[in-house]
Structure 1
Amino acid sequence: MTTHAHPMPFGATVQAQGVDFALWAPSVETVLLEHGAAGSQPMERDAHGWHRLTVPQAGQGDSYAFRLPDGTRVPDPASRYNPEDVHGPSRVVDPHSFAWTDDAWRGRPWEEAVVYELHLGTFTEEGTFEAARQRLEELAELGITAVELMPLADFPGRRNWGYDGVLPFAPDASYGTPDELKALVDTAHSLGLMVLVDVVYNHFGPEGNYLHAYCPEFFNGEHQTPWGPAINFDGPGSRTVRDFFIHNACYWIEEFRFDGLRMDAIHAIHDETRPHIVQEIRQALDEGPARERHVHLVLENDANEASMLMRDGRGIPVAGTAQWNDDLHHAVHVFATGERDGYYTDYAADPVASFACALAEGFIYQGQPSAFRHGERRGEPSTRLPPQAFVSFLQTHDQVGNRAFGERIHALGDPVLVRAAMACLLLSPHVPMFFMGDEFAASTPFLYFCDFGPELATAVSEGRRSEFGGFAAFADEAARARIPDPNAESTFVASKLRWRERGTRAHFERLCEVRQLLEVRHRLIVPRLAGMTAAGVYRSDNGTLQVSWDLGTSGRLHMLAHLGEKPAASRAVPPGALVHGEGAAIQEGALQLERGAVYVTLEDPPGVG
């Protein structure tokens, strides 16, 4: 058994002689440390705005806070644990107090990833690290190889999606203790599961962020965002701010042994310096924990910047390992549900052809003008990227939760087409991702929920309903009033998975189908993916798509799928051994495809077989 800690200049560090406390607050001359054993003591300020104090009698589990000149009491922005929520005192954590058992763990190559996104509070009835830990074995048995946790950074209140975090180093106490989170990761590794965590470096939440009060240097007013002044990645004083987030990335990977990060909305990060903060984080990980094990960096980037996903001469990512592929989702949503409002407009002309493009090339928008964006060009060419550079899905927390009633795609779409799209995704070379409950077609919605203070709560509830006012279905006030109140506890409770559903007939059938597809994927397709270096090729006509991918020295993968309204005319049989042939029959040397048919073959390289 070993222990792991990430050393950093911020926060509270347990030493043999006590605890070192450090706060960067250049805009204030004096800061008092409040600590139970030591009372209130002035911290020593240096010329660079650091306030420091060592307290010999302090130790693990002690509460502390900082008092500003105006009397405001604030938590540590680098707090490792804030059990009394974001307005309360921080608590000293000694990372060496947790004994890890995963010494032999070196992670998994990215091409083996099958990702499962989950929200800790709604994944189980209890909504805790410990309850989630007890469910991991079921995910591993299904064929999941990577669990992705929605953001854990301490947020205000008892429930939140996680994107309103204000203490980036402190796992939210509503889920449990830091040691319980470490136990979850340790158990996952024993089951062969990678664990990734979602981090938010583009903004702080609207409640509980005290940095404005004593460290305005953390923000750059020259860049405005929907959340106010941008985080200062490129203005005066930005070096310390950049280091804060670089340390945060390394902290999650080293101290909690996560296998990777999912970086939220990097298109909303304002950084005009080079290297970009994403690339600097990648460099820090590569020079640190990635020297000993696989560490992955997954991006969300609405700008579709393929340059952020490029590989070097050795095939190693220069920044992102992969990106969430919203384009693929949008195409599937259009042909499966018929919805064409909002951003779905960009995929309405021929959604099956768009789906084929996404399967083959990753991005659909690779520099073309977007009608939804009033002609603005979006994206960069992605054909030089391997399919593993794309995390693709039929739904995510965003695509479900941003709907007024949180409906999942299997509750909205044509079941034949949703089923076919799932097979296409799981048997493609992309990295597939499930949103929790996808695997058994969960009946529960995933709604937008939060737990803000009274004034902000009212504004959020009213804003949530007014933002749907532009949709025809919510044109009248009575319709908008039916949208669940984000701050109501009932909205949160309604979003919890019902695990007992897995045993009922319809849900169990879906679970068995997913298990079978993943078994085929892991046994036949994944072993051939490591040599892939570029995109596939595709064609589409009359609702039928054909995609082929070059697997390097491992041959070729062929996919034929029919997503049209009526059975398809005969098609040539793709070469190679059959992998999956649902809804297809060979008659007189040609394929007859039923609606929703998916036919996949693997072709060996020349001279093999």
Structure 2
Amino acid sequence: MVKVGANYLGNARCQFTVWAPLLKEVAVKVVSPHEQLLPMQQLEYGFWQVTGENIEPGTRYVYQLEGTKEFPDPASYLQPEGVHKASEVFDHSTFNWSDREWTGIRLEDYIIYELHIGTFTPEGTFEAVIPRLTRLKELGINAIEIMPVSQFPGERNWGYDGVYPYAVQDSYGGPNGLKKLINACHLEGIAVILDVVYNHLGPEGNYLGQFGPYFTKKYFGAWGDAPNLDFAYCDGVREYFLENALYWLDTFHVDALRLDAIQGIYDFSAKHFLEELAERVKALSEQKKRKFYLTAESDLNDVRIIQPREIGGYGIDAQWCDDFHHALHTLITGEQQRYYQDYGKCKDLEKSLREGFVYSGQYSPDRKRRHGNSSAEEPACKFVVCAQNHDQTGNRILGDRMTKLTSFEGLKLTAGTLILSPFIPLLFMGEEYGEEAPFFYFISHSDHDLIEAVRKSKKDEFLEAGHEKDFQDPQDPGTFNKCVLNWEQQYQDKHKVLWEFYQELIFLRRINEALKVLDKKKLEVSSREEEKLLFMRRYSDENQVFYVMNFSDRTLTFDIETPRGSWQKLLDSADSKWMGPGATMPDKLIPGELLTIPAKSFVLYQA
């Protein structure tokens, strides 16, 4: 296959390549600094190509189709005037990388921090993130996950409305801004995960269909027509997205990709798109002599996604485990609406901690069918878990974080359950200090009909939930501004204490061998449903830990059969040091002793 896009060759020469298999005439129209028309030659498999002279980086161009219609490059590297205007020739070779000593971090060692570039800082740019990296590193973060940055309409968007998968959002700082951030992350010892979207493109500025059969109506995609990955002419489409993944890893030095909602990637080919993607990434890892990772968001509860290709799996390195979030969320908040009706018992969280998936083939009341297969035999390092993320916060009517849904004690218990789990933890920006700003859905489209359609959809959601008076207009800049983090909070009062609590938990996870090793075969977990108590022991060849978690709203007195060992307390969330009600659990566990634990608290012991 041929590499698409405007690839600058040096010496004022640029090779333009585009895939348009059904067209009879394609040309490059240079619109600045000097207008000229470059007819393209048709190659095999629907590709068109021409090499232009006297074309420097910064040159603006469009593709002219059939002598009349003009559109930006589907594989544009930069859209300096947004999604509807001309593309710009960009020279990737000029950036001065200083991360050559960077070899990456093992996925199982990741402590992930998900962030949205636009709302993470008041400036809302890649470079504005860089001064904050030291603070994240102090917390213990060693991997940031950046929500999608492919060019989208306007300046405000979650990123899932991107329409130029190869172009970096201009309002965030464009390609060099992203490179500067990644370079700085690597110098700080922080890996970078980039969220990419291969299940759909946004509606506004989506001109790919003008060039060829990029999409298919075979499937009813949740977000519009699905990419054509398994029908006539699909080879060019598959290559477009496969090369895009390698582009981020190779050209931008990204360490891992998070694949958005893979249940929306429809492909009945003999070799699924995800399997082929895993093969390509493995080959790149071998070529570059450093491991690149793929993680996936999926609500299928299907272990084939993370199983090796040798046994029929897709070979994806890890996947988000929504069941963990749902089980924890319902225990902490008591919510039972929508999909939360499937959870809410200690045994659900117990099963997730032991296996990963809660639903492994049994009936789901929300889905009205059986759901999932067993993940009991899958390694713990193949699961990314969270207590909050952009979806679980932003898709709430009021965009409210856990800070608004539980007490301070509940926030600490949430933190302990997440960080002390045997899986890879992910924090959502601001979670570490109890950020109080909401995270709403926001856009800045220019298509009036689309704006009104989105606005009506959101109004209907607010009305249905009984929050009509609280409606937040997604197009209004004020809605976006409410979502910007209040960084000063983390240095104040209870927010400072919560930040230090997360820092301590991450530190213990790093230095304690029993917590550090992600091995589901070296853990024991049990629960008492009526009391809402959960007990967990994890062990390694060097040491063992034991923790008790009280998810009830009352102080409990209980007895347990203490695991064998001399148990010394490491951390107690109820301790006054953490602004708790006061520790009641003993410093040392004595067999047969009656124990008392405060509401919504946990205690960690080591032997």
Of 481-490 and 579-588, the range deviating more from structure 2: 579-588
Pairing 1:225–2:213 present: no
Q: Which amino acid aligns with 1:27?
A: L
Q: C-alpha separation between the residues in 1 aligned to 2:238 and 2:522?
A: 34
Q: Which amino acid aligns with 1:505?
A: D
Q: C-alpha separation between the residues in 2 aligned to 1:167 and 1:176?
A: 15
Structure 1 residues 8 and 512, CA gap change in structure 2 (3 angstroms):
farther
Using the TM superposition, give the Cα deviation of residue 95 of structure 1 relative to its aligned residue in structure 2, in angstroms: 1.1
Q: Secondary structure at the match of 2:225?
A: strand
Q: Which amino acid aligns with 1:421?
A: T
Pairing 1:580–2:584 present: no
Pairing 1:425–2:421 present: no
Identity %: 33
Structure 1 residues 360 and 568, CA gap change in structure 2 (3 angstroms):
farther
Structure 1 residues 534 and 206, CA gap change in structure 2 (3 angstroms):
farther
Corresponding residue for residue 328 of structure 2: 332
Q: Is the 8 A contact 2:309 2:315 kept in 1?
A: no
Corresponding residue for residue 577 of structure 2: none
Corresponding residue for residue 29 of structure 2: 34
Corresponding residue for residue 536 of structure 2: 547
Of 591-600 and 404-413, the range deviating more from structure 2: 591-600
Structure 1 residues 228 and 527, CA gap change in structure 2 (3 angstroms):
closer
Q: Is the 8 A contact 2:222 2:264 kept in 1?
A: no
Structure 1 residues 311 and 573, CA gap change in structure 2 (3 angstroms):
farther
Using the TM superposition, give the Cα deviation of residue 170 of structure 1 relative to its aligned residue in structure 2, in angstroms: 0.7
Structure 1 residues 219 and 358, CA gap change in structure 2 (3 angstroms):
same
Using the TM superposition, give the Cα deviation of residue 534 of structure 1 relative to its aligned residue in structure 2, in angstroms: 4.7
Q: Secondary structure at the match of 2:254?
A: coil
Corresponding residue for residue 405 of structure 1: 398
Using the TM superposition, give the Cα deviation of residue 535 of structure 1 relative to its aligned residue in structure 2, in angstroms: 7.8
Q: Is the 8 A contact 1:360 1:547 kept in 2?
A: no
Q: Which amino acid aligns with 2:246?
A: C
Q: C-alpha separation between the residues in 1 aligned to 2:486 and 2:160?
A: 24
Corresponding residue for residue 366 of structure 2: 372
Q: Which amino acid aligns with 1:580?
A: L
Corresponding residue for residue 3 of structure 1: none
Aligned match of 1:538 in 500, 525, 532? 525
Pairing 1:518–2:506 present: yes
Pairing 1:309–2:297 present: no
Gaps of 5+ in 1: 1-6, 604-609
Q: Which amino acid aligns with 1:262?
A: R
Corresponding residue for residue 487 of structure 1: 475
Using the TM superposition, give the Cα deviation of residue 218 of structure 1 relative to its aligned residue in structure 2, in angstroms: 1.1
Aligned match of 1:446 in 421, 439, 453? 439
Corresponding residue for residue 602 of structure 2: 598
Q: Is the 8 A contact 2:412 2:498 kept in 1?
A: no
Using the TM superposition, give the Cα deviation of residue 265 of structure 1 relative to its aligned residue in structure 2, in angstroms: 0.2
Q: Which amino acid aligns with 1:594?
A: P
Aligned match of 1:48 in 45, 48, 52? 45
Pairing 1:196–2:185 present: no
Q: C-alpha separation between the residues in 2 aligned to 1:341 and 1:226?
A: 21
Corresponding residue for residue 70 of structure 2: 73
Q: Secondary structure at the match of 1:391?
A: strand
Q: C-alpha separation between the residues in 2 aligned to 1:527 and 1:600?
A: 11
Using the TM superposition, give the Cα deviation of residue 555 of structure 1 relative to its aligned residue in structure 2, in angstroms: 5.8
Q: Which amino acid aligns with 2:479?
A: T
Q: C-alpha separation between the residues in 2 aligned to 1:318 and 1:229?
A: 24
Corresponding residue for residue 568 of structure 1: 557
Q: Is the 8 A contact 1:196 1:262 kept in 2?
A: yes
Q: C-alpha separation between the residues in 1 aligned to 2:286 and 2:505?
A: 31
Of 52-61 and 148-157, the range deviating more from structure 2: 52-61
Q: C-alpha separation between the residues in 2 aligned to 1:535 and 1:88?
A: 57
TM-score when normalising by structure 2: 0.92
Deviations 1:513-563 (A, max 9, x none): 111111111111488416x36584432112111234464x55655432121
Q: Is the 8 A contact 1:333 1:413 kept in 2?
A: no
Using the TM superposition, give the Cα deviation of residue 46 of structure 1 relative to its aligned residue in structure 2, in angstroms: 3.1
Pairing 1:10–2:1 present: no
Q: C-alpha separation between the residues in 2 aligned to 1:246 and 1:47?
A: 19
Corresponding residue for residue 158 of structure 1: 155
Q: C-alpha separation between the residues in 2 aligned to 1:193 and 1:527?
A: 21
Of 260-269 and 407-416, the range deviating more from structure 2: 407-416
Using the TM superposition, give the Cα deviation of residue 41 of structure 1 relative to its aligned residue in structure 2, in angstroms: 2.5
Q: Which runs of 4+ in 1 moved over 6 A?
A: none
Q: Is the 8 A contact 1:574 1:601 kept in 2?
A: no
Structure 1 residues 227 and 528, CA gap change in structure 2 (3 angstroms):
closer
Aligned length: 583
Structure 1 residues 49 and 311, CA gap change in structure 2 (3 angstroms):
closer
Q: Which amino acid aligns with 1:524?
A: N
Q: C-alpha separation between the residues in 2 aligned to 1:386 and 1:289?
A: 21
Corresponding residue for residue 141 of structure 2: 144
Pairing 1:186–2:183 present: yes
Q: C-alpha separation between the residues in 1 aligned to 2:471 and 2:419?
A: 34
Corresponding residue for residue 357 of structure 2: 363
Q: C-alpha separation between the residues in 2 aligned to 1:534 and 1:240?
A: 44
Using the TM superposition, give the Cα deviation of residue 592 of structure 1 relative to its aligned residue in structure 2, in angstroms: 3.2
Aligned match of 1:381 in 358, 371, 374? 374
Deviations 1:149-171 (A, max 9, x none): 00011001111000000000111
Corresponding residue for residue 134 of structure 1: 131
Using the TM superposition, give the Cα deviation of residue 289 of structure 1 relative to its aligned residue in structure 2, in angstroms: 3.1
Q: C-alpha separation between the residues in 2 aligned to 1:527 and 1:538?
A: 14
Q: Secondary structure at the match of 1:147?
A: strand
Q: C-alpha separation between the residues in 2 aligned to 1:22 and 1:264?
A: 27
Q: Map residues 459-474 of structure 1 onto 2, 5 A cutoff.
A: 459-471=453-465, 474=466
Structure 1 residues 515 and 588, CA gap change in structure 2 (3 angstroms):
closer
Deviations 1:300-359 (A, max 9, x none): 00001112112589x9x96222211211111222122221111111013x2x22122212
Q: C-alpha separation between the residues in 2 aligned to 1:582 and 1:481?
A: 38
Using the TM superposition, give the Cα deviation of residue 415 of structure 1 relative to its aligned residue in structure 2, in angstroms: 3.0
Q: Secondary structure at the match of 1:428?
A: coil
Corresponding residue for residue 109 of structure 2: 112
Corresponding residue for residue 607 of structure 1: none
